[in-house]
Structure 1
């Protein structure tokens, strides 16, 4: 059958990068097993196991990459023996006959399966981390460009006080910064299983080293050095602690939730025509409605992010039912969930790179929305009796003439509801300013009302906050510094949505 006749995951056919798909391929996984068998044989030979010959080591080195023929041999053996590790031991031994008798010497299956998973996850995080940094870099540039542009802030998805377009982007950046730091932390904390024996007691290795515990410890030091890990976990069972998988999943899956929130904001802003994702010249937004510019990239990222964010529960459940020293009900689910965790994160970051690098802002549309809500917002400032933020300290004039804050509140409440009724029931414009100008109570501020209708008066320290966070010397620039060479050397991914 062709590739069109059997199921293929969309993560393979549509979404994830070639480098991540290659990392979790069968050839990559089983070639990693062979590297681990070589590392073990080299370490054991170095520590005095003289049955491991130079010819054995040489032949193993020559066949570290599993060939198509090797996979064929392993498939026949697995069908016969119902054991994938032993099937690949046999296949390796066929191409490295001098090593056939010593491959996997002293080890349990988890020596290759678990150590390989740790090596693959470590490499996967090395691929993901710079991609997260790249998205932060894109949004940093966007935030600085739009740090001064006033826009409506929303609470409860209702207009609140003013922020700036750049300030909102910084909110997105801060979440991604947390994700980056979480993934960096689990990456830095990652250790190796090493050669621990069947139940983590070193018993089989004590036997081959004639009860020399120092050689067992030295073997694990050699293995960690060869595989690129700082040390082994202090306590292993038959496996490394499945808590490790959960910690990694929590960190990586956090990206999914972040992507959902960011793209949710963008989709709402697109509906208001204030901001749009990149839209190519010939792109079709709808098969039926040619005028539409649907936020399809944001929707794709949100969908992938939802799947990614849901995965930690699987890792938690798997960890919680690892009875005693090990239960094999972790195997099948981890074969799916570990690759999917990283393929999904990879797909999300590919999408976010394209999205964040081409956001389109419509300032005039934003200003129109600002001005439709600003009359309501300035009333909040009128009620602040000690403000120095507005021209000539308006409310102080009212208070100085014996006006009451509570009376002012009631006057504004009535006028605001009247203006809202015009907007909601009649489809008219917000006429609250005119109502204030026509209400004798507010006569002390009539001459100053027009000066108050500038959105920039109400953004607070938003521009400064943006500059301080993402500008020169700020925490974002500092965090990105180690990744800049990688970021600047990476071309922006163009997606066919």
Structure 2
């Protein structure tokens, strides 16, 4: 038998065989296909092109900073027109620049080196030509990358994700205020329980979501610029007289980031793990809102009144399915899973550096994209709802036994105050209510025979399941 050799497949996409769909430029994933419109704002911050633009920005600002602080002997200061020219490279970064960088990277087989050569091209033949060796001066790739990712994620969170999430939470809070006085049968363990109001239950969810947003708003975005192993080794070797720690600190802070003074080759990414865990937690609270609202729809407490032109079922014409909330659930689960992986993976790097974070961080946009898509779906879903107080009233009137808690609690208080005959109140109400339906007449008859003080008996006799909501309405005020 002859010896069979095999050739590994090409890693160059241009050399692989293509299918007709691939040749047509069809998106592989739903975010860049079906749901592109909902997540498009994130492209400006978390796409591959955005990463390269931020790399160019960091390289430009590092060169400008070195010149401004006179850190490298012989390097002159930039003139205002020269600085404007460099920054215009960032501001005007577009599709042609993306293509040019890709072309350079095919030669360098290194994405950050391609950015360095790209910027040097822009400086060649201009008054900046004498400063080309200040580009990427004493930098390791991770010096550029960590700062670029920090700027990208900060922009995506602060300019896109937080405004969308905040608008959603405000929408839930407004619904809570509007529905604060609408009584509703609560369900603990799926069983009829002490009544509440629909507004108060929505307020609980709005409050939970706002707490997570407050944590996300306080997020720190860390950065470093300290060389191949975080020691400023190349910096000290090149210019031992400069205060490189101070040069690094001021540079990072001028980018609007928090300086990390102690790192290996990489910035440790702990801030990313913290942020992604908080966003994942927001996702899970929002998932809880989706499942609760879905259940209220199934109970008839919400009616889907807007968007009636949609098809709920391909065979059942009467149906209007709660698809916005179901779609959101799925996307929140995908986003949460990706954010969990990011948070778990990014906190570890073997010894002074490994490249697991390089591939991992390329999925940040996908994680935020699914979350943003879910937020959009929940907003649309909530907009299409009207509360149905009459359905909630029917359920309340069918469950008078929930007043058993109120009656036995009043009996306890009366007994403590010295009223005779108030023994075993819980057990007596249990005998009356457990495993059976009690109507209003039966409950009033039972109360009348207890021997309660007249004012207590009158209060309980006047009570109905719809009025037994405690302080639910007033609790909504705590959203402020």
**Fold in common (TM above 0.5):** yes
Which residue is equivalent to 1:260? 287
Residues 63 and 96, structure 1, Cα contact 8 Å, conserved in 2: no
Task: Give the 3 Å change call, closer, same or farther, for CA 136–242 of structure 1 in structure 2.
Answer: same
Residues 397 and 466, structure 2, Cα contact 8 Å, conserved in 1: no
Which residue is equivalent to 1:102? 134
CA displacement at 1:42 relative to structure 2: 0.7
Structure 2's unaligned 5+ residue stretches are 1-19
Which residue is equivalent to 2:251? 222
Aligned with residue 289 of structure 1, among 316, 323, 333:
316
Aligned equivalents of 1:277 and 1:439: distance in 2? 40
Q: Which of the two has greater helix per residue?
A: 1
CA displacement at 1:352 relative to structure 2: 3.0
C-alpha root-mean-square deviation of aligned residues, in Å?
3.1
* Structure 2 SS opposite 1:458: coil
Residues 266 and 277, structure 1, Cα contact 8 Å, conserved in 2: no
* Structure 2 SS opposite 1:457: coil
Task: Give the 3 Å change call, closer, same or farther, for CA 439–87 of structure 1 in structure 2.
Answer: closer
Which residue is equivalent to 1:122? 154
Aligned equivalents of 1:414 and 1:74: distance in 2? 79
> Is residue 459 of structure 1 aligned with residue 463 of structure 2?
no
Which residue is equivalent to 1:151? 184
Aligned with residue 205 of structure 1, among 216, 235, 251:
235
* Structure 1 SS opposite 2:259: coil
Residues 447 and 460, structure 2, Cα contact 8 Å, conserved in 1: no
Instruction: Kindly tell me the number of residue pairs found equivalent between the two proteins.
Output: 444
> Is residue 416 of structure 1 aligned with residue 416 of structure 2?
no
Aligned with residue 32 of structure 1, among 54, 57, 60:
54
Task: Give the 3 Å change call, closer, same or farther, for CA 124–464 of structure 1 in structure 2.
Answer: same
Equivalent positions of 1:183-332 (< 5 A) are 183-186=216-219, 189-193=220-224, 195-208=225-238, 210-225=239-254, 227-229=255-257, 231-276=258-303, 279-332=306-359
Equivalent positions of 1:127-138 (< 5 A) are 127-138=160-171
Aligned equivalents of 1:108 and 1:355: distance in 2? 48
Deviations 1:223-280 (A, max 9, x none): 421x222x41121221111212211111111121011100000011111010145631
Which residue is equivalent to 2:4? none
Aligned equivalents of 1:156 and 1:199: distance in 2? 55
Aligned equivalents of 1:179 and 1:439: distance in 2? 47
Aligned equivalents of 2:347 and 2:385: distance in 1? 43
Structure 1's unaligned 5+ residue stretches are 421-429, 475-497
CA displacement at 1:96 relative to structure 2: 2.7
> Is residue 81 of structure 1 aligned with residue 119 of structure 2?
no
CA displacement at 1:159 relative to structure 2: 1.5
Task: Give the 3 Å change call, closer, same or farther, for CA 441–276 of structure 1 in structure 2.
Answer: closer
Task: Give the 3 Å change call, closer, same or farther, for CA 290–95 of structure 1 in structure 2.
Answer: same
Residues 129 and 180, structure 1, Cα contact 8 Å, conserved in 2: yes
Aligned equivalents of 1:255 and 1:437: distance in 2? 45
Residues 249 and 341, structure 1, Cα contact 8 Å, conserved in 2: no
Which residue is equivalent to 1:142? 175
Task: Give the 3 Å change call, closer, same or farther, for CA 5–19 of structure 1 in structure 2.
Answer: closer
Aligned equivalents of 1:437 and 1:457: distance in 2? 15
* Structure 2 SS opposite 1:279: coil
Q: TM-score scaled to structure 1, two decimals?
A: 0.80
Equivalent positions of 1:300-449 (< 5 A) are 300-336=327-363, 338-373=364-399, 375-386=400-411, 403=421, 405-406=423-424, 412-417=429-434, 420=436, 430-435=437-442, 442=449
Task: Give the 3 Å change call, closer, same or farther, for CA 71–146 of structure 1 in structure 2.
Answer: closer
